[in-house]
Amino acid sequence: MSRLLDGIGVGTGSAAGPVARMAPPPALPAPRPVADPAAETAAVRRSVGEVAAELADRAERAGGVAGEVLEAQALMAADPTLLDRVAALIAEGTDGPHAVTAAYAEFRALLTAAGGYLAERAADLDDLRDRTVARLLGLPTPGLPDPGHPYVLVAEDLAPADTALLDPAVVLGLVTVRGGPTSHTAILAKALGLPAVVGCAGAAGLTDGQLVLLHAAEGTVEVDPEPGAVRRAAEREQRRRERERGVSGPGRTADGHPVGLLVNLGALAELDGAAAADAEGVGLFRTEFLFLDRAEAPGQAEQTAAYRRVFEAFTGRKVVVRTLDAGADKPLPFATAADEENPALGVRGLRTATRDPELLETQLAAVAAAARGSAAEVWVMAPMVSVPREAAEFAARVRAHGLPLAGAMVEVPAAALRAGRLAEVCDFLSIGTNDLSQYTFAADRLLAPLAALLDPWQPALLDLVAATAGAGAALGRPVGVCGEAAADPELALVLVGLGVNSLSMAPSCLPAVRAALAAHTLGDCRELAELARTAADAETARTLVRRSMNAELRNA
Amino acid sequence: MPQLQVTVGSASGLHARPASLLVQAAARQTARVTLARPGQTAVDTRSLLSVLALAAKQGEELELTAVGEDADQALAELAALITEDHDAPAAR
């Protein structure tokens, strides 16, 4: 008998496969007296041998540079000096797990003291320690599982370090116990194009090897599904892929209304993938990556070089550069005050320019220098604009640098309610739905218990989008959406129906959004928008739109 | 006890790859070989963690000491691995 678990869906696809759980790092039990030091040492040797053998096996299968790294890890796990130290500690009366932990801590301190490249390796030691201790305690191996076949990854939540290693060829889908629609896991799942269900409390009870069928669109996980259900989901998935492959080029509705389809860009490492995407350009170029993890802001020459690389990759296309958005969840030592009690309501985004005008001036000069002689169409916008005067001052600064197109982001309700005044003084508006939700519902984006309030289907949020898009249309200024909302194909239809002109998202989300647009007329989008806006709540809005949309897709 | 002075050849010093090669070779030897900065505590060449923790840079002079069967042969082999530049393009 199958049973159904509820969560928050990310993406639109479905995936079926056996569960592989990601185990948390083992918790160290209370120290205990050692009765038989020889046996205790032998147990550690056995565990160490198993960990080293497992890593050596992975190294062989991985090959190449990854194989070399894993091989070095295997050598470290079975290090004879480390084992000698563990044996000595056990002889002094420390139990196995504590002796392993202490010996690793000593080597960690040595490597950290050596600094540089070696200090970076210290994190590898934590992983080895956790693996060894888990073996000793008979607990599952922490970290990403490697059962040797494709699987549905089930985790409490995913850390950025874990997800960096995630291979979309092996991981069929993601299910996490915690996390909301804007969590790290959700953003990653979207970027990789993986169906995911986050915030699924029932997933805590899933075990390795159990068959699950997850439906991202419904936000459900079917446990022990009927073979027929798996087959039907696979067929639907294939039809969906075919439909997506069937459309390409600039975004447009079934009746030819153009909708700009753009990509978000957050680091130079993403540049090649973003440039290769079938998109009209970059709708949101987050420049923060240049400034993160630094004691001082990068100089103009360094910034110019980085921006030039982006503009060259997008020759002939549009690039919307967002100036530095520091503060809140992205504090920077040189731009953020340390004494803010509510950083989300503090001096962040464009507001940092009032404290340090040079920071913005240098950045605009660098963007202008990189734009000169480039064939990309460079637009510049400011984050966290709240009142028309800010938009006017920003636009004046941008134009003083010879950059022709200046815009304001609409991320706070004040900006959305006075979007007309903003649009009068700048050239375009771009709605950041994540922050706009956060400030509309007074709900911290990073707090999982408030995730439901941050649902981009909230009718109040849609009202603010409608107000912004309407004001832009009245003045002939384009209005884009560059938040998570734009990547949801169903919500994308609603946004277009509300009057939004362009949508910016992770490259992997483009095909689904493009296909949804191609299957609906502008009139359909307007009807769906009306349904969503007049719904009582987010859940009803989503359900109503999905029901009407599917009917239309069947007719298409 | 046979001893040998060696100069670290790899551009980035005895870091992960050169150190791994050294440790793997040392594990195959019957003789026990240690490595040290002159006058300092020696570390086991079979211990990757200890070799890494030396943080030896390119051009640094180190001391290899071997004890046991085939000590001279072991020294020669490990010395060659330390002096070679494993980061040079041709070595990859």
At residue A264, the pLDDT reads 94
Among the residue ranges A86-90, A503-507, B9-13, the one predicted with the least confidence is: B9-13
The residues that bridge with A395 in the sheet, in sequence order, are: none
At residue A174, the pLDDT reads 93
Rounded CA separation A67/B23 (Å): 16
Average pLDDT over every residue of A167-185: 82
At residue A161, the pLDDT reads 57
Q: Is the pLDDT of residue A231 over 90?
A: yes
Owning domain of residue A187:
3-23+143-242
What's the sign of the alpha-carbon dihedral B43, B46, B47, B48?
positive
Catalytic residue among A200, A426, A482, A525: A482
| Residue ending a domain, choose from A137, A165, A181 | A137
CATH number at residue A366: 3.20.20.60
Chain A: give the shortest CA distance to residue B53, in Å: 5
Residues A444 and A502 in one domain: yes
Taking a C-beta distance cutoff of 8 angstroms, is the pair A432, A383 a contact?
yes
Residues with Cβ within 8 Å of A230's Cβ and at least 6 positions away in sequence, in order, are A16, A211, A213
A406 touches chain B (CB under 8 A): no
Count of residues for chain B? 92
Q: How confident is the model at residue A169 (pLDDT cuts 50, 70, 90)?
A: confident
Q: Considering only CA atoms, which of A240, A152, A326 is closest in space to residue A515?
A: A240
In A433-492, DSSP assigns E strands to 479-481
pLDDT in tens, A318-377: 999 999 998 877 778 788 877 888 888 999 999 999 889 999 999 999 999 999 989 999
Upper half-sphere CA count for residue A488 (Cβ side, 13 Å): 25
Chain B: give the shortest CA distance to residue A111, in Å: 5
At residue A555, the pLDDT reads 39
Instruction: Check A118 against B20: CB less than 8 A apart.
Output: no
Residues A467 and A526 in one domain: yes
Residues with Cβ within 8 Å of A510's Cβ and at least 6 positions away in sequence, in order, are A261, A263, A277, A278, A279
| Residue ending a domain, choose from A208, A242, A276 | A242
pLDDT in tens, A119-148: 777 778 988 999 999 999 998 888 888 888
- Cα–Cα distances (Å) from A344 to A287, A348, A519, in that order, read 19, 7, 39
At residue B92, the pLDDT reads 46
A426 classed as catalytic: no
Q: How confident is the model at residue A550 (pLDDT cuts 50, 70, 90)?
A: low
What chain B residue is nearest to A117 in terms of C-alpha separation? B15
At residue A162, the pLDDT reads 66
Residues A337 and A309 in one domain: yes
Residue ranges in chain B whose pLDDT is less than 70: 88-92
Count residue pairs from A and B with Cβ separation < 8 A. 51
Q: Is the pLDDT of residue A58 over 90?
A: no
Residues A76 and A16 in one domain: no
Rounded CA separation A494/A481 (Å): 12
Q: Is this prediction's pTM over 0.80? A: no
Q: Is the pLDDT of residue A513 over 70?
A: yes
Q: How confident is the model at residue A192 (pLDDT cuts 50, 70, 90)?
A: confident
Rounded CA separation A185/A200 (Å): 12
Rounded CA separation A214/A18 (Å): 11
Count of residues for chain A? 556
Residues A380 and A271 in one domain: yes
**A241 token code pair:** 């892929």
Total domain count, chain A: 3
Q: What is the ipTM, given to two decimal places?
A: 0.92
Residues A384 and A455 in one domain: yes
> What are all long-range contacts of A53-61, with beta carbons under 8 Å and residues at least 24 apart?
A54/A131, A54/A141, A58/A146
At residue A159, the pLDDT reads 67
B contact residues 37-56, partner A, Cβ 8 Å cutoff? 43-44, 46-50, 52-53, 55
Structural domain includes residue A31: no
